Amino acid sequence: LNTSIDDLDHGIKKLVKRTQYLQLDELKGAKIALKELTDEERLSHLRNLHIQNGLDIESITNDRNEFPELQSLTLQGLPQLVSFCSQDKIDATSLPQRELPLFGEKISFPSLEKLQLSSLNVTRVWQNQLSNVSFYTHEKLTTLKVEIILWEDIEEETQVAMTLSLFPQLKSLVLKDLQHLRGFCFISQNKVIEFPFMKSMTICNCSNLEGFICRYTREGNQRISSQGDLFDNKVAFPKLQQLTVGGCDKLLTIFPSNMHEEKETALLATAQLRKLNIVGLPKLKYIWKNDPKGIFSFKKICAISVLGCRSLKNVFPASVAKDLPQLGFLAISDCGVEEIVSKLEAGSDSETAVNFEFDKLYALVLRRLQKLKCFYPGKHTAKWPMLNKLEVVECKKMKIFGTQLNSNNGQLDSPIHPPLFLVEKVIPKLQLLTLDTDCIAMTSDGQFSSSLFHEIKSFRVIGHGAKSIDFRISFLERFYTLENLAISYCEIKELFCTEGDTSNEETYAGTLSTIRNLKLERLNHLKDYLWKQDV
């Protein structure tokens, strides 16, 4: 709109007043967006309100109102917005305008299900002390998304109950690009915070985040350091299914040790979690600090992805890794891990082999783990009966494949660098395999069966450019049913062998005949022809 609502034609204005869905974009010259629409009767039918790109807007309404039917509210690109209601700004003479909460206590949204705030300059969303009445005004909220707000904190304290349910119907929470955010809410140290219906949580690019819930003492309101822990033992998400955390520079741990202090809370915090995504946490040392009592339960988790955590020590404590019956996808890339599973805590029997059973794991991806030495630093057995996809690239310190000929009754007990897999138990199930040239060189040492890769349908080879170990095309003799072949960044001159270049020309010819799709990428030394005319 190149004008304010005040200047609209009478018929258009009447239509606007009766609409259920109202979107205002680029409202010009208006400091109060809905100045003409602030009586209760005219707002009672509004269900969806979306206001964006209003450079002059300071308030949305000029009176304190209830929006009884409003289900969705989006405020985006309003750099001058101070408060939802202009009357709050007039009444709060003792506070600087930028310290006013966006929503005062007398603004009510009893039916609100979705709230999205983006590109605003407010420092507080709700007032410092949210009363039970205030919670009631948002009790149906199911989706909360907050982006790019200069938001110091949402401070909250209540005297009523030891367990507090924040937004009892909230199902989805997104905190994104909040460079000043220290915590979702501040609360006294003895309160247990529960989000009873939260199913999805995303926290991204909040570089100053100290913890999801920040605690302080009653005496003197002294803040308690979170010590870099995202969660503590007094927060519960009994229905949380998906958690994504990224770009939070201060976090050291996701699930810290003190979550074990109260068994019931620890179980509630993780029991329903299905997907966990951790991305770009430069100081993160532990996802799970440790679990000496085996309290944590992740029986339903099915996908874990960890990317760009250079300080990470490991991915799992042994007690967690031993009980992941639903885990189907595990990807770890660009991390500083030396082991995927940490050794059992002090006091456990180090002479007894630890059993890991990943009965539903179908995909394992390990990329650019320069420090990774082993899966588990001790005696163990591992079962991967459903493993269908394996990708290992730039993991130079870890031996990927071992054989039962060098193991003790199937136990991997090398004290230094035990291999990741026993090939007799893993390779026959694989259909999609990606290896770099270093790993292929270790697999070509003659100790493995020539039928090692018989069931592979898709094979990708990744080199390291000029630093690549020479990849011998004759390695493909091992693939009897290969349909898809991709070769990237390798220093090879000819793609397919000519007469005398392979030990078994009949087998090699059989491999070529099954290939249906061929992809070649960055083979800088490949000659003009792919193979000679008589091949």
What is the rounded CA–CA span in Å between residue 277 and residue 386?
A: 22
Read off the pLDDT of each residue in 301-324 and give the average, rounded to a whole number: 94
**Secondary structure string (H, E, C) spanning 288-320:** ECCCCCCCCCCCCCCEEEEECCCCCCCCEEHHH
Predicted confidence (pLDDT) at residue 362 exceeds the cutoff of 90: yes
| Contact between residue 54 and residue 29 where contact means Cβ atoms under 8 Å apart | no
- Residue scoring higher pLDDT (64 or 31): 31
Q: What is the pTM of this model?
A: 0.81
Q: What range defines the domain where residue 508 resides? A: 449-467+475-535
How many other CB atoms sit within 10 Å of the CB of residue 231?
24
What is the rounded CA–CA span in Å between residue 227 and residue 65?
A: 42
Distances from the Cα of 238 to the Cαs of 270, 272, 290, 383, in angstroms? 7, 7, 21, 30
Read off the pLDDT of each residue in 502-531 and give the average, rounded to a whole number: 71
- The answer as to whether 502 is a domain residue is yes
Nearest to 241 by CA among 181, 178, 300, 161: 300
Q: What is the mean pLDDT of the chain?
A: 78
Instruction: Name the pairing type of β-strands 213-216 and 223-224.
Output: antiparallel
Distances from the Cα of 200 to the Cαs of 142, 196, 326, 344, in angstroms? 10, 12, 19, 31
**374-395 per-position pLDDT tens digit:** 999 888 888 899 999 999 999 9
**238-292 per-position pLDDT tens digit:** 899 999 999 999 999 998 866 645 555 555 567 899 999 999 999 999 998 876 5
Q: What is the number of structural domains in the chain?
A: 1
Q: Which of 157-161, 278-282, 324-328 has the lowest mean pLDDT?
A: 157-161
Instruction: Give all strands (DSSP E) within 217-335, no chain letters.
Output: 223-224, 235-236, 242-246, 253-255, 275-279, 286-288, 303-307, 316-317, 329-333
The total number of residues shown for the chain amounts to 535
- The answer as to whether 393 is a domain residue is no
Instruction: Specify the 3-state DSSP secondary structure of 199.
Output: coil
What is the rounded CA–CA span in Å between residue 187 and residue 224?
A: 10
Confidence class of residue 351 from pLDDT cuts 50, 70 and 90? low
- The answer as to whether 356 is a domain residue is no
How many other CB atoms sit within 10 Å of the CB of residue 496?
19
21 sits in which H/E element: strand 21-25
Percent of the chain with pLDDT strictly greater than 70: 67
- The answer as to whether 528 is a domain residue is yes
pLDDT of residue 333: 98
Nearest to 217 by CA among 250, 256, 191: 191
How many other CB atoms sit within 10 Å of the CB of residue 168?
16
- The answer as to whether 119 is a domain residue is no
Q: Side-chain half-sphere of 237: how many Cα atoms within 13 Å?
A: 21
pLDDT of residue 120: 81
- The answer as to whether 337 is a domain residue is no
| Contact between residue 232 and residue 256 where contact means Cβ atoms under 8 Å apart | yes
- The answer as to whether 167 is a domain residue is no
Read off the pLDDT of each residue in 472-488 and give the average, rounded to a whole number: 85
Read off the pLDDT of each residue in 111-136 and give the average, rounded to a whole number: 66
pLDDT of residue 134: 42
String of DSSP letters for 403-444: -GGGSBTTBB--SS---SEEHHHHGGG-SEEEEEHHHHHHHT
**48-99 per-position pLDDT tens digit:** 999 999 999 999 887 766 788 888 999 998 989 888 888 766 555 555 555 6
Q: Which residue has the tokens 């822990």?
A: 229
- The answer as to whether 16 is a domain residue is no
What is the rounded CA–CA span in Å between residue 394 and residue 525?
A: 22
